[in-house]
Structure 1
Amino acid sequence: MTAPAPSTVSINAALAHAAHYPRLRYMGSKYKLAPQLASVFDELGGDTFLDAFSGSGFVGYLAKAMGFQVTSNDYMNYGRVIASAAICSNDPLLTREIIERITGPAADDRDFIQRTFDGVFFTADDRVFLDSAWSHIAQLEGQTKDMALAALILSAARKQPRGVFTISGDLSHYDDGRRDLRTPLREHFVEHAAKYNDTAFGGGLEHRAIKGDTLSLEETEYDIVYMDPPYAPPTDDADYTKRYHFLEGLSDYWAAGEIMQNTKTKKIPKRHSAFANKLTASDALRATFQKFAGARALVVSYSSNSVPGLEWMTTELGKVKSSVEVREVPHTYSFGTHGTAIRRQATEYIFIAKD
């Protein structure tokens, strides 16, 4: 896929390009807010862009399509892998030979996924494929490895009902007829490898994907720092490890070796985020605003059904920037992708703080 040259990129062209982005069913995804975010980024202008909480990687990819040099960061490794595959790759890296090798006979006798997740996730054949695929992916390097892993991660997420890994065992009652639930993971991988190949485009800029704590990032001044932190709901927390622990483990083949064997879904220990809990979110957000006060502009996505609220966010951003604008976008959050999924109306805030 060939993207327009950065100097000639229009909002519509960037949005059309970003529409091809491989989509996870991801808690907090900003895919539906792309027109509003692209408009804000276009108005602010500049050259460098930090996506401080990259998640599914979509916003960073949109910024790349608009001509920005993008640094993407997430505290989960699978977020780094996805960003590396989609944002940092300038060329299609998964050749036919690589895809055929990954989907062919195993390169070794590893069986960790087969043993650990028997009766938990996927069919026996699908678990065999995941082990086999990793036996080949382990031999790859750099962005080629990350692109193959991103395709594997997307395959697993699409095959799992509702796209989350809080449910396990016999999931037949979640079968709503979607093709994704019936397609073998081997076929999913071939399809999603092609999708990630299609995301790759150049433009002469070098982009970065980092796994780390936002507050520990280097003190680089960016033109735009975009923040989409986990939203801390008033009566719960935003636990990405709980929902996506299998994807996190799959991203490095459970390299840390930490499986909570007493849990039904074989979770990994929680990757704590101060942003995801109502007791610690305010201090974490305040520190982040102060850390990136030197950026030309801070753009923050937040939800009306989270804490801290609108007034607090506006006040705290006003302490580091002289002008704070709030744009409101009606939004529907869906908890699940099935026909009877719970849907909650809320307002998505886009804070624009600048001098």
Structure 2
Amino acid sequence: MPKINLPVTRYYGSKRKLVDLIWSELENINVEFNSVLDVFGGSGIFSYYSKLRGKSVIYNDIFLFNQIIGEALIQNNSNELSEEDVHNLLIREPNRIYQNYIAENFHDIYFTDEENYQIDTVIQNIGFLPIERRASAYYLLFQSCLIKRPYNLFHRKNLNLRTNFNGGGFGNKVTWERPFKELFLKFNSELNKYVFDNGQNNISLNHSALQCNLQADLVYIDPPYFRSVNHVPYHSKYHFLEGLANYNLIPENIDHTKLHREINLNKSNEFENKNTFLNDLEELIEMHQNSIIAISYRSNGVPTIAEIESLLNQYKNNVRAINLKKYSYALNSKGSENYEFLILGF
């Protein structure tokens, strides 16, 4: 097995700094499992760690852009994208007709005009790559778009935060201004280091949580968190990347009433409504009641840890709610103390 060396993730709520603790608790229950289903795959960190541990992994996410990232990191056993491919992604071929959906619709919102033009170019050139190289190319684009954004998010029109940046604790001006070509080469080098074959058949799927009915020995559930105020759905945070993954559908799905021009693709009410969250979670638990169930949640979430624990008790003989550690995310570092919990049912 390769040395445990995890990709750096730029997602709100990523478990990169907690996955060692999560895995230790899974080992402590002394219940064997050979396959893992990561229902809310997100950054892919739990799936990737499971792959490192030699498990057969099913990565799933409702967003197509995440499914593609899962394909690049989890499903693929090698990175077939060459440096020459990377260089060619940013060049417009004279015999091709290019659209300019990003340049035409997102001026002064997320990226500079030149960068918008480059994004249009790259996303269309990816479609001409051999199919086995496309997920890697998308990975480079998605990670580069994230790293060039203040807070790595897309729910606000705030290019000015980057262009007028005079210092502060929320970003890195040098990184934001690095050209796409440089970032692509960096992330392609990282893929060469991170992607490997663990001898298992690992797959990446694109379903909503309640439509993902594949089974595994262990089901990992890391759903959206609701705070008492100012909840921003994950779709709003990452809609731009979902638009890029569905490039030809962008023009007809832009919400021009919003300053940040949210792209209304693959929105879902599943696990995005406080009033129905527990019902959704019960349906998911019932679907996987024959598996070991591991749920990540936070002490300040709505519903509460106690409510989730009580629900899991209805389906499992052994339930443990384990306080992992005090932990804060970039946009959620102030205020009351928050703790990460792992709720296990087996």
TM-score if structure 1 supplies the norm length? 0.88
C-alpha separation in 2, matches of 1:212 and 1:105 = 33
Deviation for aligned residue 1:242:
1.1
C-alpha deviations, 1:315-336, integer Å up to 9, x for none? 1111111000111022332344
- The reply to whether residue 333 of structure 1 matches residue 328 of structure 2 is yes
- Which residue of the other structure, out of 336, 342, 347, is the alignment partner of 2:339? 347
Task: Report Cα offsets for 1:275-294 as digits up to 9, x if no partner.
Answer: 13211111111111111001
| 1:310 is aligned to 2:305 | yes
1:36 paired to 2:36: no
| SS in structure 2 at match of 1:267 | coil
Amino acid at match of 2:294: V
Q: Distance in 1 between matches of 2:344 and 2:302?
A: 18
**Number of residue pairs the alignment of both structures matches:** 334
Task: Classify 1:92/1:61 alpha carbon distance in 2 versus 1 (closer, same or farther; 3 Å).
Answer: same
Residue identity in the other structure for 1:347: Y
Structure 1 contact 63–70 (Cα < 8 Å) conserved: yes
1:245 to 239, 243, 262: 239
Structure 2 residue runs of 5 or longer lacking an equivalent are: none
Say which of 123, 146, 149 aligns to 1:160: 149
Give the drift of 1:231. Answer: 1.1
Which of 176, 183, 193 is 1:181 aligned to? 176
Q: 1:191 to 1:344 in 2, by over 3 A?
A: farther
- Structure 1: where are the runs of 5+ without partners? 5-12
Asked if structure 2 preserves the Cα contact closer than 8 Å seen for 1:88 and 1:208, the reply is: yes
Give the counterpart letter for 2:24 in structure 1: S
Rounded to whole Å, the distance in 2 between the matches of 1:140 and 1:175 is 40
Counterpart in 1 of 2:258? 263
In the alignment, what sits opposite 1:284? Answer: 280
Per-residue deviation at 1:146? 1.3
Stretches of 4+ moved more than 6 A in 1? none
Root-mean-square deviation (Å): 2.0
Identity %, equivalent residues: 24
User: How many angstroms does 1:197 deviate by?
Assistant: 2.7
Listed one character per residue, the Cα deviations across residues 111-161 of structure 1 (whole Å, up to 9, x for unaligned) are 111111112121122112111112210113544211110110010000011
Q: Tell me how far apart the structure 2 counterparts of residues 321 and 311 of structure 1 sit (CA, whole Å).
A: 15
* Structure 2 residue corresponding to 1:150, chosen from 139, 152, 156: 139
Q: Deviations over 1:151-189 (max 9, x none)?
A: 100100000111111232422344544421121223212
Which sits farther off after the overlay, 47-56 or 256-265?
256-265
Q: Which moved more, 1:176-185 or 1:313-322?
A: 176-185
The 5-angstrom pairing of residues 1-355 of structure 1 reads 3-4=1-2, 13=3, 16-18=4-6, 21-24=7-10, 26-43=11-28, 44-106=31-93, 107-168=96-157, 169-171=159-161, 172-174=163-165, 176=167, 177-218=172-213, 220-255=214-249, 257-269=252-264, 271-295=267-291, 297-336=292-331, 342=334, 345-354=337-346
Structure 1 residues 83 and 170: CA distance shift in structure 2, 3 A? same
Mapped partners of 1:344, 1:28: distance in 2:
17
1:190 Cα deviation (Å)? 1.9
Deviation at 1:82, TM superposition (A): 0.9
Structure 1 residue 346, shift from structure 2 partner: 0.5
CA distance in 2, matches of 1:207, 1:175: 45
Q: Distance in 1 between matches of 2:132 and 2:288?
A: 28
